[in-house]
Amino acid sequence: MKTELVKALSFSALLFTSTQSLAGVIAFDLIGNNSQNLISYVNPYENSFTALSDGFQIYQIGLSSIIPEQLIDRSNSSMDELGVIEESNTDRFFGIVDTVNNDNTGEVTSSWAFSIVGFQQLSFGVDIAAMGDFETSDYFSWSYQIDDGPIFELFKSTVDESIEQVYEMANNNVSLADPMRVNAQILSNQFQTINAGIDGVGDKITLSLAAKFNGGLEIAAFKGLTISGQSNTAKTASVSEPSSYIMFSLCSILLIIRRKQKLI
């Protein structure tokens, strides 16, 4: 009887667990060199700056004809005290350097549209690295829009003028004042994942990156843009189906216990 009781309990736990673990990544870009459920990427500022040291776009070492040198960490092969992407890394990334320049004075933006059909309980995650002695006017922000609905901000960077940050280059460390923060997290030249919740459901979500960097020695980079969520079908299963399964399992357990009591 003890064995049958254990089996019934295990079966009940398995049913409950299987219906609660159906959430996961549904769309992404800039993970390695891959994307999923990406509808479009729009960037009116791609290759729009005259100075080769300025940029606001997707780059890839070995394929991009021009990448601002400030973004690349070359400390393994030469004297270098600024960079967020190691020179051996050939993954795609989005880089920002000096967007306030002779070609532009205001905020710059780019956007990614992803399909989210059939999903809910959404969240956004992105890997961020930033390095420099930032000015309080330097910032980036992420926002989202579902279908043609209102635009909501996910988070916006700030500059912390009260501390210094030690940046770990590939072959040396660099200490600089006035690092960037996102919420309570201090950014560095090592990528860190920032997450934010998303309210609403729909067919398409548009993620927008806005920025304003005024200076050639303040940089930021992004990769691993990820939308996670739960299938609408999975949600229905996890709410309605477990009640009947669990009741069946509990009834089975009670029957086993009653049989055992009668035999004692």
Distances (CA, A) of 30 to 38, 88, 224, 254: 11, 17, 5, 53
CA–CA separation, 194 vs 199, rounded Å? 17
Answering whether pTM is above 0.75, one says: yes
Q: Which pLDDT score, from 0 to 100, does residue 234 have?
A: 56
The pair of structure tokens assigned to 184 is: 């309570």
Inter-residue contact 193 to 125 (CB < 8 Å): yes
23-31 and 219-231 beta bridge pairing: antiparallel
Length of the chain: 264
User: Which residue did the predictor score with more confidence, 11 or 182?
Assistant: 182
Residue 202 pLDDT exceeds 90: yes
Q: Which pLDDT score, from 0 to 100, does residue 140 have?
A: 98
pLDDT band at 233 (very low <50, low <70, confident <90, very high): confident
CA–CA separation, 240 vs 238, rounded Å? 6
The values of phi and psi at residue 56, to 5°, are: -155, 80
Angle formed at CA 256 by CA 252 and CA 261, multiple of 5 degrees: 145
The secondary structure of the chain in percent helix, strand, coil, rounded to multiples of 5, reads: 20, 45, 35
Determine the average pLDDT of the residues in 88-98.
Answer: 98
pLDDT in tens, 104-148: 999 999 999 999 999 999 999 999 999 999 999 999 999 999 999
